[in-house]
Structure 1
Amino acid sequence: MFRLKFFSVLLLALVCCNSNGLAQSLHQTPLFQAHAHNDYRQKRPLQDALDNDFWSVEADIILVDGELLVGHSRDELSMDRTLRKLYLNPLKNYFLDNKQKSNEKFPPFTLLIDIKTDGEAVYQVLRNQLREYEELLTSCQDGKTVRHPVQVVISGDRPIEMIEADNPRYAGIDGRLSDLDSDKPSQLMPLISDRWTSHFQYRGKGKMTEAERKKLREIVRQAHAAGRRIRFWATPESEELWKELVDARVDHINTDQLEKLHHFLIPQIQDSP
């Protein structure tokens, strides 16, 4: 009886090991549609996103005493939670250790930086910090894109004219749905984001109407035709809604529930042609 139990436990352990190995092999490619909204509120900012195969994260920043602190409001801030410490330095180390994920097969990792207040003053500091990560960040000089592993996109209080005037420029601008017909080049405005609830009635329960489904697909078509990616925020944490976004080819799916979206997207990728 003891021997039988021993071999049963051993067999179970081997199966678990093989299953874990299979899971790891299936997850080697990042989930390009997965976007960690307010990522800095996770238990381990950035690392939780990377561990769940996310390829896009969002960080709010506020300028305090010359330093860029990460947080949504001033009562959340701490002097040891800087943009450098939570995101720029860890991303630099990550791509040094994972050089295969910085090749042409992979789109750049998106670091969406949401400036909460005083856009021009914040950007003066931010642009100087970004210059120090030249080998990490996709940039644009004299109208030509220089590709590197991470693409910074500025959202929130965007000093659009300042960003546009930079040469070289280490960040792009996050547009809005009103920018779908903009003539700005995609290397300047690579992303369009907008509030889901401002444009759609569907809240992720039951069926989406055909009219709204058609509207969503037309928005995606217009963005892609201009070389831009598309994202919606304030989306319900609903698998029914996520399925509509995947089917419509929305580029970034917003979530605060990283593991839930991870487990949802894996079979979607496996089932895709």
Structure 2
Amino acid sequence: MLRRALGVLVAAGAVLLTALPATAAGGAEPLPRAHAHNDYEHERPLLDALDHGFTSVEADIYLVDGELRVGHDPEDLRPGRTLQSLYLEPLALRVRQGYGHVFPGSRRQLQLLVDIKNTGAATYTKLDKVLGAYRRMLTTYHKGKVKPGAVTVVISGDRPRELMAAQERRYAFYDGRMSDLGKGNPSLIPLISDNWTNHFTWRGDGEMPAAERDKLRQIVATAHRDGQRVRFWATPDTAGPAREAVWRELIAADVDHINTDDLAGLQQFLREHDTRRAEAA
């Protein structure tokens, strides 16, 4: 009888662990700076990133036949492979299982960067309706006030600024560019993103020029003063000393999101950086 009871308990424990999100079952702790660029190209979209502790993921969407299909190019799109099926539904389940949080035991938000690839206004209008069904887990805007949620959706790509700015209630926010820096308005534009190569010549070889280092830190300081976060895309992403040199400078400047397609590589780099910092303290 005792052996049978123990077997039942072990089986129940296995079921519970299977049902729990990765972090609740002993997975990776959240990494505040880790951003999964083109996340949907991984074997398990969203889930691989979360298992590596990423707190920001990026999905490209097209409006096709009434669906918000996820993919990099039109030829990649498949019926049913949608923002809901790959991201919103798994996140809603995870938030329910995590008692209101994406990362159980942590209040760290997840940023879902949605890059609109076609028909900006029409795609956003459809997206707005879809997000309304998930509003309980989302950071929302209403009449000038922002209410934090477990997931913050930020719209990039072909984003209809005037349409979004005119909304009394929003379930998503606008991804700004360097031209928006210093103009405030974090309730619409909480994030400033731009192409690294448009603003910096340094690619990680040798020392970063002092003038470019100062420029980077001034960009971050200005954004943070205005309550905004900073992300650069097109930074070096081939494993090696150059990539690590750029990542070190981004961290030193307090850039909020580091872009990569290499989940394991950035996870290892950030863990080792945190370990070295703790040992030096």
- Tell me, yes or no, whether TM beats 0.5: yes
**How does 1:251-266 map onto structure 2 within 5 Å?**
251-266=256-271
Report the counterpart of residue 130 of structure 2 in structure 1.
129
Asked if the contact 2:100–2:137 (Cα under 8 Å) also holds between the matched residues in 1, the reply is no
SS of 2:205's partner is coil
| Residue 18 of structure 1: aligned partner | none
The share of aligned pairs that are identical, in percent, is 50
Counterpart for residue 59 of structure 1: 59
1:17-48 deviation digits (Å, cap 9, x = unpaired): xxxxxxx9997531010000000011110011
Distance across 2 between alignment mates of 1:150 and 1:263: 24
| Unmatched 5+ stretches in structure 1 | 1-23
Amino acid paired to 2:86: L
1:230 maps to amino acid: V
Secondary structure of the corresponding residue to residue 152 of structure 2: strand
User: For each residue in 1:85-140, what CA deviation from the matched residue of structure 2 results, as whole angstroms up to 9, or x when unmatched?
Assistant: 00000111112222374699634210000001210010110000000001111001
TM-score (norm 2): 0.84
TM-score w.r.t. structure 1 length? Answer: 0.87
- State the match for 2:86 in structure 1: 86
Paired residue secondary structure (1:135): helix
In structure 2, runs of 5+ residues without a counterpart are 1-23, 238-242
User: Which residue of structure 2 aligns with residue 222 of structure 1?
Assistant: 222
1:138-173 CA distance string (max 9 Å, x none): 001111111210000000001011111222210000
Which position in structure 1 is the counterpart of 2:245? Answer: 240
Amino acid at match of 1:109: L
Corresponding position of 1:250: 255
Superposed CA RMSD in Å reads: 2.0
Displacement of 1:234: 0.5
Question: Does the alignment pair 1:175 with 2:180?
Answer: no
* Displacement of 1:208: 0.8
The 1:100/1:133 distance shift into structure 2, 3 A limit, reads closer
Which residue of the partner structure matches residue 231 of structure 1?
231
**Residue 110 (structure 1) aligns with:** 111
**How far apart are the structure 2 equivalents of 1:214 and 1:53?**
30
With 105-114 and 43-52 compared, the bigger mean Cα shift is at 105-114
The answer for the alignment partner of 1:145 in structure 2 is 146
Deviates more, 1:155-164 or 1:98-107: 98-107
Q: How many residues align?
A: 249
Change (3 A) 1:125 1:255: same
